[in-house]
Structure 1
Amino acid sequence: MSLTLHYHPLSSYCWKLLIALYENGTPFEAQVVNLGDPAARAAYAALWPTAKIPLLVDGNRVVPETSLQIEYLDRRHPGRQRLLPDDLDAQLDVRLWDRLFDLYVMDPMQRYIAQILRPEAQRDPQAMQASVDGLGRAYDLIDSRMGEHAWAAGEDFSLADCAAAPALFYAAIVRPFGPEHTRLAAYFERLLARPSVWRCIVEARPVFQYYPLRHALPARFLSGDAP
């Protein structure tokens, strides 16, 4: 087995790559990274200096950054589910949605969580509110542009949906969807019903205890089968 994934089961960006791997049943060796241990962090940083997760290693090749990792898998380890279409216009749509979910949903969600991880006296209420407001604007944008197709960029599950699932899962805990976000909410339910997505949730259950907003996790994510 040539593929090794360095990851943590609680990480939203790790879910993004795991979903791509699970979609095609791509064989890989999983190695959980403990960034809290100085020696483990130093060893991991020797692979890639940013020491960010996930990191994909294929033989002697180190592949960072989730969008690039999924494209790499699609080209070098293709499976039944193509995650980037061949058509250029369709490919641009997938890349756009991938960026929307990473930059406008994942990013403000993570900035909010970063504040929660601080001692309460050191939190920045304005920064937290800005993150919540940013998520609201992102929800409005996504809902208005979603269209009637099943998945973010069309009728085929793609890289964009790999990005959407973890971003929306964690973002909806920070700021739930509003009643006006009907398309977005329906899309999220379709994502949850995808076996690759639900598998990430199930595998994260043992470590949800370390999630700072664990008290706000809906009960259906803590036990039971997929919707």
Structure 2
Amino acid sequence: MALTLIIGNKNYSSWSMRPWLAMTAAGIPFEEEVVWLDTPEFSARLAGISPAGRVPVLIDGDAVVWETLAILEHLAERFPDSGLWPQEKVARAHARAQAAEMHAGFTGLRRDAPMNLWRPVEPLALSERGMKDLADITKGWRTARERFGAGGDFLFGAFSAADAMYAPVASRIRTYALPVDPVSAAYVEAIHAHPAFRAWHDAALKETRTVEADEVDWPVVKRV
């Protein structure tokens, strides 16, 4: 039975991006359904499907999963050979912890610098909380790369669910020209070069619907 992933606008919906990237990178077949954020249609479509009333939502037959990290874990169980998590036990535990940290935290950075893929690269000043979040995130990236990243360009070598969780942060770093160390800068470049990210990014640039809350230059909407 085909999987269906319900997502929001690709330009803005960082949480939608995460399982989409993971599934695409892992070669897990699925159908996508885009429901535009901040529209009456959004609330109507999500009503009765997602108790949280948010995207993403994965529909897998009778199973409906509505939280990003839960979606990734469901997929890892459903497709055990997909490589969503590192194979080695210690690396896998670290990857899950790091992904959970992203899922639960770093609200300062997310609030200061919403994901906006079509905005031209221009510097943005972060709040003190946002700067601390950025420092904590990049410290975690450096640790993962040093301990587990020898086999490739990503946090645990090969692209994994942990990278899918942090890809929207990588996009924010580029969009807002945020200052990071060389290891983190190389990781940001690796994320942007990944074919799954490129596919999502290219689709985002074709969208036309705007979300005021995610446009830091509002009422001006800057587009590449």
Q: What TM-score do the two structures reach when normalised by structure 1?
A: 0.75
Structure 2 length-normalised TM = 0.76
- 1:129 corresponds to which residue? 127
Give, in angstroms, the shift of residue 88 of structure 1: 2.9
Partner of 1:191: 191
Question: Relative to structure 1, is the Cα distance of residues 208 and 198 closer, same or farther in structure 2, using a 3 angstrom cutoff?
Answer: farther
Aligned position for 2:178: 176
Aligned residues: 202
Amino acid in structure 1 at the alignment position of 2:84: L
- Describe the SS at the equivalent of 2:24: helix
Root-mean-square deviation (Å): 2.9
> What runs of 5+ residues in structure 1 fail to find an aligned partner?
115-127, 223-227
Q: What are the equivalent positions in structure 2 for 1:7-26 lying under 5 Å apart?
A: 7-8=7-8, 9-10=10-11, 11-26=13-28
1:166 aligns with 2:164: no
TM-superposed CA distance for 1:56, in Å, is 0.3
Assess, with a 3 A threshold, how the Cα gap between structure 1 residues 35 and 139 changes in structure 2: closer, same or farther. Answer: closer
Pair 205,45 (structure 1): closer, same or farther in 2 beyond 3 Å: same
Question: 1:2 is matched by which residue type in structure 2?
Answer: A
Determine which of 27, 32, 50 is the counterpart of 2:29.
Answer: 27
Instruction: Kindly provide the amino acid, as one letter, of the partner of residue 182 in structure 1.
Output: P
Once the two structures are superposed, what CA deviation does each residue of 1:63-119 show, in whole Å capped at 9, x if it has no partner? 12112212211221355x4011344322111112213444455x33332257xxxxx
Indicate the percent of aligned positions where both proteins have the same amino acid: 24
1:1-227 alignment, distance < 5 Å = 1-8=1-8, 9-10=10-11, 11-38=13-40, 40-78=42-80, 81-105=82-106, 107-113=107-113, 129-142=127-140, 144-145=142-143, 146-147=145-146, 149=150, 150-174=152-176, 176-178=178-180, 181-207=181-207, 210=210, 212-213=215-216, 222=224
Write the distance in 2 (CA, Å) between the matches of 1:175 and 1:205. 19
